[in-house]
Amino acid sequence: MELYERLRCERPELFRNVPGGIEILTDPDAVSAAGGVMYADPYLMLLRDPVRFPDGRTGTYIRSVPANTEPGCVVLPLLDGEVVLIEHYRHATRSWQWEVPRGFGTRGLGPEANAAKELTEEIGAGVLELTSLGAVHPDTGIMGDRVLLFAARIDGIGRLATGDGIRSVRTVPPSEAEAMVGDGRVTDAFTIAALMRARLAGLMG
């Protein structure tokens, strides 16, 4: 309960109530019964909030929120007019995924620096030009994350982060990247969102 109350004081934006929405209750007994912070590590926190629903019912609602205020980022790399995709093993799905580089926000770094860091760490690439593609909320039903999307023209492909589960990289024309979404070879939601935003921004040829 102490951690929950500290979080409420330090990051009030996570607890704002909007008229007509699901109200987070502040009564100490309700917070104690709900559980407050159920889990925390350097990347995320799992909260169980005491709430009042729009129809007047009270209960609890579970959500995850990022552990720091720097948003995560997703970067669509573009090399000589083609899309760069990495083959990344994902523990949560227990499968290999074709996707674009992404990562948690690093405290103290701005969005552009975070984007450049992810490209360097995952595919050994330097940024020639970086374009913001806006933000997405990955899963509004349970996640409080706001993730920033970028497209980046890069100077090449270097060393892959094989220790993090990346085993290969490929470059494909924009039309092929979109075909991979259409036929299910790409199912990662961040990658699909980045490709769509890049298309709408006129960056996909």
Q: Which domains does the chain have, with CATH numbers?
A: 2-66 (no CATH), 73-200 (3.90.79.10)
Q: Identify the CA nearest to 187 among candidates 85, 113, 69.
A: 85
Per-residue pLDDT of the chain (205 residues; tens, 9 = 90+): 789 999 999 999 999 999 999 999 999 999 999 999 999 999 999 999 999 999 999 999 999 999 988 999 999 999 999 999 999 999 999 999 999 999 999 988 999 999 999 999 999 999 999 999 999 999 999 999 999 999 999 999 999 999 999 999 999 999 999 999 999 999 999 999 999 999 999 999 8
Provide the pLDDT for residue 111.
95
Residue 199 to residue 205: CA distance in whole angstroms: 8
Provide the pLDDT for residue 205.
80
Contact 130, 176 (CB under 8 A): no
Provide the pLDDT for residue 74.
98
